[in-house]
Amino acid sequence: MSRERRPGAAGTRPSARGAHGRGARPLPAPGEWSIELIERYNGELARLAAGFGLDTYPIQIELITAEQMMDAYASIGMPTYYHHWSFGKHFLATEKRYKRGQMGLAYEIVINSDPCIAYLMEENTMTMQALVIAHAAYGHNSFFKNNYLFTTWTSAEGIIDYLLFARNYIAECEQRHGEQRVEELLDSCHALMNLGVDRYKRSSRLSLERERERQREREAFIQAQVNDLWRTLPAHEQVEAGEEPVRFPAEPQENLLYFVEKHAPLLEPWQREIVRIVRKIAQYFYPQRQTQVMNEGWACFWHYTLINALYDEGLLAEHFMIEFLQHHTNVIAQPPYDSPHYSGINPYALGFAMWRDLRRICERPDAEDREWFPEIAGSDWRTCLDFAMRNFKDESFIAQFLSPRLIRELRLFAVLDDDRQEHLRISAIHDARGYRAIRNALSLQYNLGNLEPDVQVWNADIRGDRSLTLRHRQTHRRPLHQATEEVLKHMARLWGFTVRLETLREDGSIELTGECRVEKRKGAR
Amino acid sequence: MFRVVDHRYDSRNKSAVNRQRFFRRFRAQIRRAVSDAITGRSITDIDAGEDISIPAKDLSEPQFGLGEGGVRENVYAGNDRFNAGDEVERPLAGQGEGRGGAGDGTGLEDDFVFHVSREEFLNLFFDDLALPDLVKKELARIPEHKLVRAGFSQTGVPANLNIVRSMRGALGRRTALAAPYRMRLQEAEQELAELVPVRGDDDDAVRALREEIAHLKTRIEAIPFIDSFDLRFNNRIRQPRPTTQAAMFCLMDVSGSMDEEKKEIAKRFFLLLYLFLRRNYENVDVVFIRHHTVASEVTEEEFFHSRESGGTVVSSALKLMHEIIRDRYSSGAWNLYGAQASDGDNWDNDSPVCRDLLIDAIVPLVQYFAYVEIAAGEPQNLWREYLRVAARSPRFAMQRIGDLTDIYPVFRELFRKKAAA
C-alpha cells in the first residue's frame, strides 16, 4: 500500500461542518498520533465491536518502526523466531523493494496469539492507526478466536511460548552441533514444510512447559522406537516368498515431516526435535493458508463497518473519512484480468465483497437471493455472518455463499487451460448457465489440495536397502515443477538413504519420476 | 483488555543475525559480485553501497509444487468480451499471465538482487585483509593523552580556580548562614519601630532591642566573605587519545608512457588502499604526488585526469614525499602509508637513487610502502633496484599487474593478513 497523503490541513480542531452527529464532537484526527489518542479511538471501537457481538482475544498493540516492520516481515510476522539464512534473504528483498519505493509496507501484521498482538507502524497517521486497530485487533482477532480451523488446529495461547522454546532449542543445537549442521537440517525441513502438515488429524496443544518436559522423554523414547524398527536381527520370518511384500507404513503417510521425525533411521534425537519444531510451526500456519479470502475479507468488512458506525455517530472528522476511504478503496481494488496490475483475484476484494453481499442478502434480499439462499435471505445478518465466520474455510465459504449477483458484479469468468488444446476455452461466464460452474471453479481454486501436489510416503523398504518411495498422485495431468529434484535431495538428506518418487497417473499407471541416490551411510546427518 | 506496548526504542536490527547468515552462506557469490563491482566502478561512487545480484537459483528454497502443463481451470475477474464457449489464443492477457496458479518456487525468477550498505560492502571486501604491522601498531599505540573537562573539584591548584563557581558557592553559604540573624534583625527593627513612638527613646526595652540589633549586625558582618570551603577548581582528567590519523601518499608516474588504461589500474589501486585506511582510521589525509621528470603535489582531479608527457625521474617524487613528511607529518600522531604506481620506466641513473632514498629516508618513516608496476614486458632497472629494497625491509612490498582484473588479487597479496605478525 502506498504511503498516504493527508487530505487538507490536519489539525486538532473539530470539523466546522461537523458530520451527521447529533452535536457529537468528532475525535481529534491530527496527522500525528499519540498513545492517548490510540486509546481513545480503541475505546470507541471496543464499544461498537461489543455492540456488534464480536468476540475477541485481549488486544496487545505494539508500536514499531518501519525497520522493525521489515524485521517482522522477515520472520513471517512472528515476534520471535529461530535464526535461519532464508529469513535474512527475505529481509534483504523486502528492504530493497521498500527503499526503492517499489512497495509500501503492509500497514498491519497481526498474530494469532492470546493476547492477540497487532503491530502499528510509527509512520502511520492517526487515521491509519485507527483503521489498523479496527482491521486487525477486531476483525482478524475475532476470526482467529472463532473460526473452526484456528480453534481446532492452532493454540493461540501457546504459540509465543513455543516459538521461544524453538528458538532457544535451535540455538542450543547450534552451539552443540555447529551452525552448519543445523542450517542444513533446517533447509531440508523447510523444503518439506508445505507437505509437513496433518490435514485431518488434530494435533496436540502447545505448551512451553510441557514441551520442554516432554522433549527429553521423547528423545529417549523415539530413539528406542526407531532402533526397534530397524532391528537387524531376523526376527520376522513370516514374509514368505511369493507373498505380497508388506509395505511400511501400512497406510500412506501424507505428513512427510511427521514420517521423517518418527521413522528416519539415522537422525539423532536433537534432529528429530528440530524436524518436529518445523512441523509444528507449519501446522500453526496451515489454517491461515486456507482462510485467506475469508479472513482478510472479514477484517476489511469490520474495519469498514466499525469506522462507518463511528462516523455515523459523528465521532469522525470529514478529513479522517476521506483518508480512510482512500486507503480502503486501495486495499479492496480488483483490477480486471487484462490490467497490467492484475495478479489474480485479490483476496481482500473478494472477501470484502462476499461479506458485504452476505449482509445484503440478509437485510435486503431480492427474488434471486430468496431462490439461491432461501435459508438466510431475510434472516438476522449478525447471526448469519457469525455462523459463516465460524464454520467455513475459503473453499467451502465460496461454494456456499458466492451469489450470482456478486459473480455479475465482479464479472467473473472461468478459463479452461488444457495443454493438449491449441486454444484456451472460456468455460463459463457470469450468466445464468455459468453461475454454478464459476462458483465451483473458484471454490476449487482455493482448495489447497488442488493447489499443492499430493505427495505421500508410500513405502520404506525396511527389510532391504532402506530406500524410501514417495508417491505423487497426479490429477489433471499436472506435473511437479522442476524444483522437485532439489526437494528430493533434501528428503534424501533427512532420510539418509535413497529416495524415489513415483507418479501415479490417472490411468492407473505408475512411473518412476525422480530418484536421489544416497550411497551407504554417506550424507547421513 | 487493551494494552499498548511501545517497541519503537527497542533493539533494532533483529534480523541482523539472519542477514549475517545469509552473507555467510552466499559468501562466495557475494564476494564475486563485489569484486566485479570494484572493477566496474568509477572513483566517485566507490564509497557507497552496492546492489549485489546473485543467480536466484543458487538461493532458491525448493518445495514440492505443481508445474506448468496439464489441465487447469482458472477464474478471472473483469470479463469484458468473452462468452461461454469462446476459444482464445494463449496467453489470456499479455501482462499478468507470466505466472499462473502455483508458479512459486519454479526457479524461473530473475537474479536475486539486494542492496548491501557501504559498510557491508567494504566489510565484505576487506574481510580478511589487514595491513602488516597494523595490529601491532594498534596495540602498541603511543599513549597520547588529552585533558578534558570533567566537572569541578574542591581541591586543586590556584591556576585552576573557578572564580564564578567559587563566588556563587560563597554567596549561597553567606545567605544561608546569615538567614536566622536577618530574620531576627527584621523582627527586632519592626518591634523597635513600634515601641519607640509608645515608650520613647529611653525605655529599657528599647535599649535592649537596640543592643540586639547592633549585635545581630556584627554577627552578620562576621560571616566570612569567602571561605576555603567555597573554593571550586576546574577539574580536568586525562583521556587517552587514539592515534586515528593516517596520511597516504599516492605517487604516480604521469609520463607519456603511462596511458589511460594504466592510469585506470593505478587509480583502483590507490582507491582500495584509501578505502582500507578509511576503515581503520578516523582521518585519512591523502597527498597526491605526480611526476615525470619533476614532481608536484596536485589535487585528486589533476592527479588522475590531466595529461603530461616527458621523461621519467622517479626520485623526484620520492624526494617531494620526504619533504612533505618532514614539513607536515613529522609528529608521531600520523600513520604514514605510501603507494606508488608506475610503468617501470625510469632513467637508468636514477633508480639507485630511488633505492637509497627509500631505504634511508622513507621506509623508516612509514608503516607500509607498496609499489605496483603496471607493465606487461620485462622488468626494468627500477624493479630490480626495488627488489633490493624489499629484501631489506618487510614494510616494503611490490607487485606487477597486467590489467584491471588483476587488481583484486594483487591487493589481497599486498595486504594479506600475516598470521604471526
Give the pLDDT confidence of A475-499 residue by residue, as tens digits.
Answer: 888 899 888 999 999 999 999 999 9
Quickly state the pLDDT bin for A225 (edges 50, 70, 90): low
Cβ–Cβ gap B13/A71 under 8 Å: yes
Q: Is the pLDDT of residue A5 over 60?
A: no
Give the cell for residue A381.
Answer: 445478518
Q: Are B325 and B356 in contact (CB under 8 A)?
A: no
Give CA–CA dist A466/A151, Å, rounded: 39
Flag whether residue B117 sits within 8 Å of chain A, measured between CB atoms: no
What is residue A132's three-state secondary structure? helix
Q: Among A217-226, A322-331, A472-481, B279-288, which stretch is predicted with the lowest mean pLDDT?
A: A217-226
Q: Are B248 and B300 in contact (CB under 8 A)?
A: no
- Top residue of A92, A102, A489 to mutate, by most chain B CBs within 10 Å, is A92
Helix (H) or strand (E) holding B75: strand B71-76
Query: Residue B180, class by beta-carbon neighbours within 10 Å (0-12 exposed, 13-18 middle, 19+ buried)?
Result: exposed
Quickly state the pLDDT bin for B106 (edges 50, 70, 90): very low
Closest-CA residue of B relative to A421 is B71
A227 vs chain B: nearest CA distance in angstroms? Answer: 29
> For A262, how many CA atoms within 13 A lie in the half-sphere containing its CB?
11
Bridge partners for A356 per DSSP? none
Q: Among A87-101, A374-388, B299-313, which stretch is predicted with the lowest mean pLDDT?
A: B299-313
Give the cell for residue A148.
Answer: 473452526
Quickly state the pLDDT bin for A523 (edges 50, 70, 90): very low
Give CA–CA dist A118/A144, Å, rounded: 13
Flag whether residue B301 sits within 8 Å of chain A, measured between CB atoms: no
B106 vs chain A: nearest CA distance in angstroms? Answer: 6
Q: Are B34 and B49 in contact (CB under 8 A)?
A: no
How much of chain B is helix, strand and coil, in % rounded to 5? Answer: 45, 20, 35
Give CA–CA dist A474/A511, Å, rounded: 11
> Within the 140-179 window of chain B, which residues sit less than 8 Å (CB to CB) from chain A?
none
Flag whether residue B294 sits within 8 Å of chain A, measured between CB atoms: no
Average pLDDT over residues B86-91: 86
B258 vs chain A: nearest CA distance in angstroms? Answer: 41
Q: Give, rounded to a whole angstrom, the gap between the first and last alpha carbons of chain B.
A: 63
ipTM value of the model?
0.82
Give CA–CA dist B98/B91, Å, rounded: 9
Closest-CA residue of B relative to A137 is B2
Chain A environment of B17 (Cβ under 8 Å) = 83, 88
Q: What are phi and psi of B3, to 5 degrees?
A: -135, 135
A144: nearest Cα among A264, A250, A295: A295
Digit-coded pLDDT (tens) for A26-60: 888 777 888 999 999 999 999 999 999 999 999 99
Digit-coded pLDDT (tens) for B119-177: 677 666 555 443 334 433 433 344 456 778 888 888 888 888 889 999 998 999 999 99
Flag whether residue B72 sits within 8 Å of chain A, measured between CB atoms: yes
What's B86's DSSP letter?
A: -
Q: Are A296 and A348 in contact (CB under 8 A)?
A: yes
- Which range of A2-16, A346-360, B266-280, B398-412 scores highest in mean pLDDT? It is A346-360
